[in-house]
């Protein structure tokens, strides 16, 4: 169960979040919990989450280890700061802030894996693609361009998040059925390229307006292995409720 804080919270807010959140999930041992704060908050989050079992991840990396890339951060740098995970290809980066293409997603994923991070690769169709019945085509294309180029050994170390863009931050969650069918499609692409065992072992998260009042319906679907939560992960109580429902 993962929380993406987007561009919210200072280091001070981060410390406060963990003081409130840790007791709420103290007895949770049925799932992994990962929080993706802004990069500036990673050291505070790592310190505040120490000995809690909660892992910390970055929201983005650049693919080079170091160099003249002003404003970028490498996988090695966030790893050294204590992060163990990273989001790759979030739709806000693909479509709003950075125009990331599938080829960029592949390079960032390879860089993350080389540095020992677990990448969560985000895929999903835009509203107009959803309305035009093109969701499957988009997922096939994003898989082919951003994921199929991994080796089998690399593929075994990734997590995929299906995040339909029309559901992110809109309050319009995908129905469990829509999410489940998209996950099946992704798993079948994984099976074609990496084989049955690798596809069965792949963890696929759903993301898009997950809230305490819709988590149970989603997690009842066997195809949904967990969720990537944006807005509702900012509040310790609502994220704890979501985690407990996993
Ligand atoms: C996200 O940021 O990945 C996300 C799914 O956001 P929200 O839960 O706010 O829709």
pLDDT digit string (tens) for 15-67? 999 999 999 999 999 999 999 999 999 999 999 999 999 999 999 999 999 99
Q: Please state the domain extents for the chain.
A: 2-244
- Please name the helix (run of DSSP H) or strand (run of DSSP E) that holds residue 97, with its range, or none: none
Q: What is the three-class DSSP state of 134?
A: coil
Give the Å distance between the CA of 3 and the centre of ligand 1: 8
Q: What is the pLDDT along the chain (246 residues), one digit of tens a residue?
A: 999 999 999 999 999 999 999 999 999 999 999 999 999 999 999 999 999 999 999 999 999 999 999 999 999 999 999 999 999 999 999 999 999 999 999 999 999 999 999 999 999 999 999 999 999 999 999 999 999 999 999 999 999 999 999 999 999 999 999 999 999 999 999 999 999 999 999 999 999 999 999 999 999 999 999 999 999 999 999 999 999 998
**Which residues surround ligand 1 with Cβ inside 6 Å?**
4, 6, 163, 168-169, 207-210, 228-232
Q: Kindly report the CATH number that applies to the domain delimited by 2-244.
A: 3.20.20.70
Mutation to probe ligand 1, out of 60, 93, 228, 239 (largest number of atoms < 8 A from CB): 228
* Closest to 9 in 3D by CA, of 102, 20, 1: 20
Give the Å distance between the CA of 173 and the centre of ligand 1: 10
For the CA of 90, the nearest atom of ligand 1? 3
Residues labelled as active-site residues: 90, 163
Q: What is the three-class DSSP state of 159?
A: strand
Q: Answer yes or no: are the C-beta atoms of 239 and 227 closer than 8 Å.
A: no
Q: Answer yes or no: are the C-beta atoms of 201 and 160 closer than 8 Å.
A: no
User: pTM score, two decimals?
Assistant: 0.97
Cα 228 to Cα 34, 114, 120, 208, distances in angstroms: 9, 23, 9, 8
């Amino acid at each position: 169960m993962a929380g993406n804080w987007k561009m919210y919270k200072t280091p001070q807010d981060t410390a406060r979040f963990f003081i409130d959140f840790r007791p709420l999930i103290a007895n949770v041992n049925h799932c992994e919990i990962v929080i993706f704060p802004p990069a500036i908050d990673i050291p505070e989050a790592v310190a505040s989450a120490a000995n809690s079992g909660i892992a910390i991840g970055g929201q983005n990396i650049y693919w080079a280890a170091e160099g003249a890339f002003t404003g970028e951060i490498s996988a090695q740098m966030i790893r050294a700061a204590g992060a163990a995970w990273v989001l790759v290809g979030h739709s806000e980066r693909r479509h709003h802030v950075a125009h990331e293409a599938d080829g960029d997603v592949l390079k960032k994923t390879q860089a993350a894996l080389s540095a020992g991070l677990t990448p969560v690769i985000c895929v999903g169709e835009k509203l107009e693609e959803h309305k035009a019945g093109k969701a499957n085509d988009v997922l096939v294309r994003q898989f082919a361009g951003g994921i199929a180029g991994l080796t089998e050994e690399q593929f075994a170390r990734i997590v995929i998040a299906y995040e339909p863009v029309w559901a992110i931050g809109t309050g319009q969650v995908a129905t469990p059925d829509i999410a489940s069918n998209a996950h099946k499609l992704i798993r079948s692409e994984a099976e074609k390229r990496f084989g049955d065992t690798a596809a069965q072992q792949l963890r696929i998260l759903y993301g898009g307006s997950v809230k305490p009042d819709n988590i149970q319906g989603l997690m009842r679907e066997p195809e949904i292995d967990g969720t990537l939560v944006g807005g509702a992960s900012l509040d310790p109580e609502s994220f704890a409720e979501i985690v407990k429902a996993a």
